[in-house]
Amino acid sequence: MRRISVSPGRQGALRPAVFAFAAMVILGACGEDSGGAARPTVSSARFVMTPQDGNDAVAPESVVTVGSGGGKLAEVVLVAGDGSTASGRMSPGGASWYTDKPLRYGTKYTLKASAVDVYGLTTSTSETFTTLTPATIVSAEKVTPEKGATVGVGMPVSVEFDHAVKDVAVRAAVERRLRLTSSTPVEGAWGWVDDKTVRFRPKDYWPTGTKVSVATDLYGLPMGDGAYGGTGGGVSDFVIGPAVMTTVDSAAHQMTVTRNGELLRTVPVTTGKPGFTTRSGTKVILGKEEHVLMDGTTVGIAEGSSDAYRLDVYWATRVTWSGEYLHAAPWSVGSQGVANVSHGCVGMSTENAQWYYGVVTVGDVVNVINTDSSKTMEPIGNGYGEWNLSWDEWLKDSAAGAVTAAKPV
């Protein structure tokens, strides 16, 4: 027999070819044929089964099939060594049976089937086979946002794997397997920011109030060189909060904050001075810290130089991994609204910083404009800078292309 190995996503396309032989036999009402022949004592039903009996290297994504000629299937069961049964479906009329989920890795299975012929005579058969053990298991190690979170409209979905995924075809298969649904239909795309991390960015900001769910089960997915997907990561459900948007005008030394289009406050600020210009462009809030020790040596400023600093900073809202924050800067109140004197952060009064800290959340958007500098926010690698790419540019990092996320049917 010829072994058939397909991915779960191709089952429907193969079934007509696999089971063309299994046209249902019309049952007769008589115990003898038209020629008066005696009723047989042995069932004429026969089986065609894949994979073959004794195969010890069956691909976990293979579809196990059983077909019956000369009768119809009465029962089919696929049992693992621990006694658990594999999921399968019987076709209408009992002409065939097939598995509908990937098989377990490195597992010995026993396939048992019985069929009945036109005379009501039953016959049974069984075979055994073993699935291969993957050389490597690739699993989702971390999913962001975390389950139960409420995040801003600029928050991407980030999935980090415990092994590199470099092959373009495998990346496309992973993107198609990651199951992202949303209560409001949203066009978006997965894009690879490095060999271990893929992110989903909507074409436009998330609609306020959208409920999002992402499932990262890759089990049974072949990933090349003997590697297969694992079950890590689970399901993350989160909600998109109000659209809180911050615009920092470096030239005007002002920051405006809106919620769902309504102006909440205009705040005098100071931004980066020459040589330490604040990055222009769109940033997404990464986190908030009531207190952080800021030390200039961590960003390459020599200790003892005129630009050296070591400060206890409060009400700090982070927007880059390299150390840009929006925070309280009581030492520069005289320059706020007037001049840019910081080392790259956006500084404001303690009162305004505490207010801002309470208004924003992770995933909210911060736009910095009019810096009169070529220093811009990195699209990849220094936070969530993906919004600085056009939609067409973002699609270049996707292996499978754009999709529309909608609630499950």
30 is a catalytic site residue:
no
Q: Phi-psi category of 362—alpha, beta or left, where left has phi over 0 and alpha has psi -120 to 50?
A: beta
Residues 6+ apart with CB under 8 A from 306: none
Q: Which of 253, 291, 327, 343 is catalytic?
A: 327
Cα–Cα distance, 71 to 82 (Å, whole number):
31
Residue with tokens 């909507």: 202
DSSP 230-292: --TT-EEEEEE---EEEEEETTTTEEEEEETTEEEEEEE-B-BPTTSPPPBEEEE--EEEEEE
* Nearest CA-CA partner of 49 in 131, 130, 128: 128
Active site residue 163: no
Residues with Cβ within 8 Å of residue 394, at least 6 apart in sequence: 189, 191, 201, 386
| Gap between the Cα atoms of 385 and 282, Å rounded | 7
d(CA 97, CA 311): 70
Tokens of 54: 């004794």
Q: In 10 A of CB 236, how many CB atoms? A: 22
Query: Which uninterrupted H or E stretch holds 171?
Result: helix 168-177
Number of C-alpha atoms within 13 angstroms, CB side, residue 65? 28
**Cβ-based neighbours of 278, under 8 Å, separated by 6 or more:** 248, 250, 271, 272, 324, 340, 342, 344, 345, 346, 368, 371, 375
| Residue 51, beta-bridge partner list | none
- Residue 331: Cβ-neighbour burial (10 angstroms; 0-12, 13-18, 19+): exposed
Catalytic residue among 163, 253, 291, 345: 345
Dig out the tokens for 207 from the structure: 């609609």
Active-site residues, by number, are 327, 345
